[in-house]
Structure 1
């Protein structure tokens, strides 16, 4: 691909396993950036966490104005980890199984429109979250789950996601209902302890794509929506799932939605944790805010 002799530089960090592995879309996006007057370089991730390494290296080099995460919410979170603390603008090319943050922020999935938006220079500021679990410390941009939804994320396979897309999660959910050992956890929200069967700590209002989890987004605020599910078991989980699909989850009598800036799940230890749709270790879990917001191209 020929690049223009001048113009802002964009680094595109692409996850080749995201969605159905459509590498051609990333190439077309690079061409669209070229036509919009921007230079671009495409880098492909090779393993979990590689996007963070590539983004940090690009920030240190100081040669780009934007770094675009081409993938799902997990890829966006890894790139966010790499650009955190810098003035680099994070762009998003939604190509993952679910692209919830892009939906929340109105970022177009059409590559040409997306490239024109980045070239126009508009951006917004959002606050990611920071989590500590058995796998260490990392950022998340959309949500963290502990309990049954995290069990599903841990259990779903990459091959199944490639074959079925979002239906892979439905299939794994139905299988997991009979195998998951439902138990009560203690969730501390700003120091106040609440019992729950599952918890989702969310920056956004959507879950799994277009489904409304909470009435309000917290992306531009320094805090989280903490969704506490009061009942454990197969029938309760099915009821929560149907209520989510119908947009009525917040109206369930045994669902409590709080706001807070620090969330801790210490007991029981060993519960599965997911962050932005990727497996992220096990409890104990500590969630709070990083020291600086992110600039996102919109």
Structure 2
């Protein structure tokens, strides 16, 4: 008889130290519920097991034991599987949005109950992401952090990359076009929102809907450090969408190009350079959620 089972992908960086005890709590709880856990640190081994077993005995779900980068990795590797999140990263934006605390027992109970929520995903070239993308200054900070990252990161890890970006960022103009309009818009920073969750609890598009089949695109049209600081102040206050040089549009597809390559980040990870095209995949993500 085939027992129900789950595959757990542990992030080798964030799933260590004291956070490893949360994985142990999850494993113990699943065993008590008669669900067999299979824990992996090696992505390729987990992928091979799922390839072999998914036809005859598919898993209850796959578990992202890590941060938002781990969640994004599973969304791309296993588009047909339900995903549960054990939040072990620095921000854990997706888990926070879904109301999932940092608790192995809670996540184990959530998996055993099996409530599922379908959410829009986004696709950029061959890469899927969930929360948001940005092109410009903050993506340059993320790219700098990624280049020099060693071990776990905290909010303090961003200080040096932020300082280096402040000193060197060139503010290249971005040319934005969408499927909703023939007009091409020029801006210096673009935020593409699928789910209204961002680091430091900043909220670029509070009314964004995770299942409406649309992207919320926030465009900042003035360049320079002082304009960036002004925009940040407005975002913290929640007044940026009232600014005459900030534009919000909605679209199913967006294209961004620039004369020189500009950094791009998705869900907090560096994801290359412009040019890019992002499209919505309506309700393509299935997540295990609290009842």
Range into which the TM-score falls when normalised by the shorter chain: 0.7 to 0.9
Matched residue, 1:193: 184
- Cα distance in 1 between the residues matched to 2:36 and 2:53: 16
Alignment RMSD:
2.5
Q: Does 1:58 align with 2:55?
A: no
Deviation at 1:173, TM superposition (A): 2.0
Matched residue, 2:205: 214
Q: Does 1:239 align with 2:236?
A: no
- The DSSP-based 3-state class of the residue aligned with 1:177 is helix
CA contact (8 A) 2:5 2:60 kept: yes
Greater Cα offset, 154-163 or 254-263: 154-163
Matched residue, 1:169: 158
Q: Tell me, which stretches of 5 or more residues in structure 2 are unaligned? A: none
- Cα distance in 2 between the residues matched to 1:27 and 1:155: 34
Deviation at 1:14, TM superposition (A): 1.2
Q: Which runs of 4+ in 1 moved over 6 A?
A: none
Q: 1:19 to 1:151 in 2, by over 3 A?
A: farther
The structure 2 residue matched to 1:23, chosen from 20, 25, 29, is 20
The structure 2 residue matched to 1:275, chosen from 266, 279, 286, is 266
Matched residue, 1:14: 10
Matched residue, 1:95: 88
Length, aligned pairs only: 283
CA contact (8 A) 2:172 2:258 kept: no
- The DSSP-based 3-state class of the residue aligned with 1:227 is strand
Q: Does 1:145 align with 2:134?
A: yes
- The DSSP-based 3-state class of the residue aligned with 2:227 is helix
- Cα distance in 1 between the residues matched to 2:5 and 2:41: 17
Q: TM-score, normalised by structure 2?
A: 0.88
- The DSSP-based 3-state class of the residue aligned with 1:212 is coil
Deviation at 1:56, TM superposition (A): 7.2
Q: Does 1:41 align with 2:38?
A: yes
